Amino acid sequence: MKTLDWNTLFGERARRIQASTIRELLKLTQRPGVISFAGGLPAPELFPKGLAAEKAAAILRDKGEVALQYGPTEGYFPLRAWVAEWLGLSPEEVLITTGSQQALDLLGKVFLDEGSPLLLEAPSYMGAIQAFRPYGPRFLTVPAGEEGPDLEALEEALKGERPRFLYLIPSFQNPSGGLMPLPARKRLLEMAMARGLVVVEDDAYRELYFGESRLPSLFELAREAGYPGVIYLSSFSKILAPGLRVAFVAAHPEAILKLTQAKQGADLHSPVLNQMLVHALVQEGFPERLALIRQTYREKAEAMLSALDREMPAGVRYTRPKGGMFVWMTLPEGLSAERLFQRAIEENVAFVPGSPFFAEGGGENTLRLSYATMDRARIEEGVRRLGRALKGLLAL
């Protein structure tokens, strides 16, 4: 059979898309018996399976000709209107996307040229780095911790640079779990307004707060201040079901229009049946559902933190999340999370090493633990195994 050298046939952009060594590592986490804190998946016991079955059947029976037909690129109108009302906006300010992941890709398509400066946190969401990288941006990063990005470093990074946008996850950051306090949000917004800087706010975890209420988003604060430069992303993945791939962007109508044009070329529209199903699901017991989700993750986080407090040797630091799905761990300087991973797999426990979350490299001694998919007993056992792996490595 004739062979082709595919790598010479692909375009320039494809050269920037590379298999990640981490994804290869993570295949090991699928082995039977492994307790995996690696995935970023929501808890499956929270999926509204019964209600979804009922609603999907009713939609297909009563509105099948809409559900199975092509739909508008902007989204199924009743869902768009519902999201707009939820956020206190008008429907022209909302675009429904096929997951927030698609929104990230569309933002890359619309804003980035080869060599464009792009500012993000270090660490930041791996999937965002992956979505932006093919467009060839020049990544600039600012360190981020438990209270979000370091604003002094941000101020410094903005001297002499005009990034196309700043990508941020201010609430329950993936991977660090960080939460930007209100004064920091306000200060960041002032910095953006003074420079006309576009801020992309990814609020995938907006409803997963453990306290009494959520902090106002940068997007909300910007609207109050009359600044149109914040583009807001969120999703139904963490509050209903990620497999439906239904998410949304909220932004100034001109930005929405350009993103809509870009989406047209990507997939015409998000699946209508899924959008109709999401619309039906948010009509029934939604506030109660959100309360249950928060309580479930709060309990899982507490289980993980108390196990870590018991099992981790001195010198290991970890965050105490106020929401979301992740604990971020920093090992003593010089200790490699990838080496720990090898040992941990022998103990049948897994996590994600932190370095791929750093667009400019670094973070070799960091790692992310997700407590979302495990019950208390598995969390406790997994952390015990992790403690053994760590102590083994430290004793070498």
Residue ranges binding ligand PMP (CB under 6 A): 40, 99-101, 125, 127, 169, 174, 202, 204, 235, 237, 242, 247
Handedness of CA 396, 20, 128, 382 (dihedral sign): negative
Please tell me whether residue 225 adopts helix, strand or coil conformation: coil
Our CB check for ligand PMP shows the closer of 240 and 307 to be 240
DSSP code at position 45: G
| Least separation in angstroms between CB 365 and ligand PMP | 22
Report in angstroms how near the CB of residue 243 gets to ligand PMP at its nearest.
9
> Between residues 91 and 242, which has the closer beta carbon with respect to ligand PMP?
242
Tokens coding 11: 């375009």
Instruction: Indicate the pairing of strand 326-330 with strand 366-370.
Output: antiparallel
Residue closer to ligand PMP (CB basis): 369 or 389: 369
Strands (E), 271-342: 317-318, 326-330
CA 38 – CA 349 distance, rounded (Å): 9
The continuous run of DSSP H or E covering 83 comes out as: helix 77-87
d(CA 91, CA 84): 5
Burial code (b: 16+ CB inside 10 Å, e: under 16) for 201-214 equals bbbbbbbbbbeeeb
* Residue 151 C-beta: closest distance to ligand PMP, Å: 20
Extended beta strands in the chain, E state: 35-36, 94-97, 117-122, 138-145, 148-149, 166-168, 199-202, 230-235, 247-250, 317-318, 326-330, 349-350, 352-353, 366-370
Of the two residues 96 and 308, which places its CB atom closer to ligand PMP in the complex?
96
Nearer to ligand PMP, 40 or 229 (CB): 40
AA identity, residue 16: R
Name which of 318 and 357 has its Cβ closer to ligand PMP: 357
- Which residue(s) pair with 103 in the sheet? none
**Cβ at position 219, least distance to ligand PMP in Å:** 15
Nearer to ligand PMP by Cβ, of 237 and 373: the residue is 237
* CB 335, CB 391: distance < 8 Å: no
Shortest separation between residue 193's beta carbon and ligand PMP, angstroms: 24
Our CB check for ligand PMP shows the closer of 97 and 330 to be 97
Alpha-carbon distance of 277 to 48, in angstroms, equals 11
- CA 25 to chain centroid, in Å, comes to 20
Distance (Å, whole) CA 340 – CA 156: 35
Instruction: From 199, 198, 163, select the one nearest 180 (Cα to Cα).
Output: 199
CB of 62 to ligand PMP, least distance (A): 28
Closest distance of CB 237 from ligand PMP, Å: 3
Complex with ligand PMP: residue 41 or 335, whichever CB lies closer: 41
Smallest separation (angstroms) from ligand PMP to the CB of 310: 28
Cβ at position 168, least distance to ligand PMP in Å: 10
Q: Which residue is nearest to ligand PMP (CB)?
A: 99
